Amino acid sequence: MFGELIAAYLFLAGTGAGGIAAASLADLIVVRAPFGPGASPSVAEASPAERLAAFTLAASWGALALGTGCLMADLGRIDRVLALFLAPAPTLMNLGAWALAALLVVGAAVALARFLYLPWLVRRTMTALEAVAVALAAVVAVYAGLLLQMLPGVRLWASPAVPVLFVLSAASCGCAVVVDAALFVEHDGEVGRLVRRVLAVDIVVVVAEMAAAAWFLGAALASDHPGVAVSAESLLHGSAALSWWVGFGLCGLLVPLVAEMVLGLRGRSRHGIGGLDGRPLAASRSGAPVPDTPSATAPVAPVTLAVLAACVLVGGIGLRGAVVDAGAHRPLELQDPASVSIGANPSFAVDAPHPEREEPVLWLS
């Protein structure tokens, strides 16, 4: 039903969308890089925080483009690619394809604006582009989960927890791209604060992921549907167990949460207990300026950042691999034959399956 190309698309598109959203929000809220005549002539002369945003955007756009290539390769024929955009009636698949294409265009524009000197590009225009990029990234991130949820014939994916998990994972992987990009810039005070804020956000995202994962697995275990029961068995100690427990659970959730909480404790200000940016809570709430302290601006060790980001990305791969593997290739009698629609959309149908085949052939990508 699904191959490696689609699993790669689900991961790369989610990571790319999450990274573009994270970099855009970081610039809108924290960095606020100048554009127009006051912009730096080149990215090499920009501040470290601006270069962090630029590198994050470039890496995220590359992941998104690579994921799009995986999707197109899985489609296999140009008529199927065109059908994604030219179908007469709008569908979730068409809307997702248009959002993906639009994010590629807008993301490329936002990234190029970081690397090229464009004196005519004013800050207001860039703000609008970044806001559009964040909105499109949210659509692309939720698209894959909704697509799985609405697939007929696979009851495991019908859970509303699936799109929630995919969106949260995309957000966490986007934070990991920011952390990865921080390895290639100098860690001055602004970069240190930005990285710590990203880690603080990821703590919230990881906790939400844990809750969504418990919801998803609990609903599968509680289901009396035979297909869901087999899928739950696969997640517990079957073919999907390694990806679910080690890849997603250990690398993607537990290790990042513990590491980020330890870094958060080290980020306390000597003037009072604060957040990961080192600002005391009272000052953070009041908005009053607080002098930089060693704990607020001290860089996190590069090795720590690299391992942390790698674990999060491995978790993103593990989640998608486990969910896809647990739901795919279930015997037909364990699913709902009436709900399996083969060739309902001629634009996306493969050759009709032979009656003697045990498993349904669904082409979704």
Is residue 341 very low, low, confident or very high in pLDDT (cuts 50, 70, 90)? very low
Instruction: Give dist(CA 197, CA 29) in Å, integer.
Output: 11
pLDDT tens digits, one per residue of 39-50: 777 777 888 889
Q: What pLDDT is stored for residue 361 in this prediction?
A: 37
Instruction: Give dist(CA 131, CA 27) in Å, integer.
Output: 10
Packing angle, helices 48-75 and 92-115, rounded to 10: 150
Cα-only R_g, the chain: 22
pLDDT tens digits, one per residue of 63-108: 999 999 888 888 777 877 777 777 667 777 788 889 999 999 999 9
* Selection from 36, 73, 65 nearest residue 365 by Cα: 73
* Selection from 241, 178, 240 nearest residue 205 by Cα: 178
Q: Which domains does the chain have, with CATH numbers?
A: 4-348 (1.20.1630.10)
Distances from the Cα of 354 to the Cαs of 23, 153, 331, in angstroms?
49, 17, 15
* Selection from 308, 320, 256 nearest residue 67 by Cα: 320
Is residue 117 very low, low, confident or very high in pLDDT (cuts 50, 70, 90)? confident
Give me the residue label for tokens 């034959």: 337
How many residues in total does the chain contain? Answer: 365
Is residue 282 very low, low, confident or very high in pLDDT (cuts 50, 70, 90)? very low
